[in-house]
């Protein structure tokens, strides 16, 4: 028996704002969408353009009326960057860098809902 990653989920309060962030920050684009017939939720799956099959699912819930409790925010996604300097400059310009660890050569960005995304150099 084998298992493969399919997707991770982040619940978001403003779907359009989150879609714009992930497009600008990481180049993720919509792969597919599922909407509840009654409008109570929307699921949007984002992909990286084919580099991997893994997807990020953004879930919007119509009746959710408060920020999500992210606890201590110790969970996160990680993305590799083939050009860390350019990636860092881009994210710095966006104003979304929330933590840097220069000794490890990594940093984190924060999305509109406060989820952290780690940026690591691609292995060579």
From 22, 18, 115, 106, select the one nearest 71 (Cα to Cα): 115
State the DSSP H helix or E strand holding residue 94, giving kind and residue range, or none if neither.
helix 84-94
Res 121: pLDDT? 94
- Count Cβ atoms within 10 A of the Cβ of residue 122 and give its class: 0-12 exposed, 13-18 middle, 19 or more buried: exposed
Read off the DSSP letter of residue 75. Answer: -
Res 124: pLDDT? 62
Residue pLDDT tens, the chain, 124 long: 877 889 999 999 999 999 999 999 999 999 999 999 999 999 999 999 988 899 999 999 999 999 999 887 678 899 999 999 999 999 999 999 999 999 999 999 999 999 999 999 988 6
Read off the DSSP letter of residue 122. Answer: P
User: What stretches of the chain show up as alpha helix (H) in DSSP?
Assistant: 15-26, 84-94
Q: How far apart are CA 48 and CA 97, in angstroms?
A: 20
Res 93: pLDDT? 98
**Active site positions, annotated:** 118
Superfamily of domain 7-64+75-121: 2,3-Dihydroxybiphenyl 1,2-Dioxygenase, domain 1 (3.10.180.10)
Res 52: pLDDT? 86
User: What stretches of 4-52 show up as alpha helix (H) in DSSP?
Assistant: 15-26
Q: Where are the domains of the chain?
A: 7-64+75-121
Token pair for residue 123?
Answer: 């292995």
Res 4: pLDDT? 84
Query: Does pTM top 0.95 for this prediction?
Result: no
């Amino acid at each position: 028996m084998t298992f493969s990653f399919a997707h991770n989920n982040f619940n978001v309060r403003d779907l359009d704002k989150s879609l714009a962030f992930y497009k600008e920050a990481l180049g993720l684009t919509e792969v597919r969408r599922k909407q509840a017939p009654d409008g109570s939720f929307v699921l949007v799956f984002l992909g990286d353009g084919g580099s991997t099959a893994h997807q990020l699912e953004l879930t919007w819930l119509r009746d959710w009326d408060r920020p999500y409790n992210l606890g201590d925010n110790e969970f996160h996604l990680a993305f590799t960057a083939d050009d860390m300097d350019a990636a860092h400059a881009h994210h710095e310009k966006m104003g979304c860098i929330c933590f840097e660890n220069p000794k490890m050569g990594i940093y984190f960005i924060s999305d509109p809902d406060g989820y952290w995304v780690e940026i690591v150099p691609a292995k060579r």
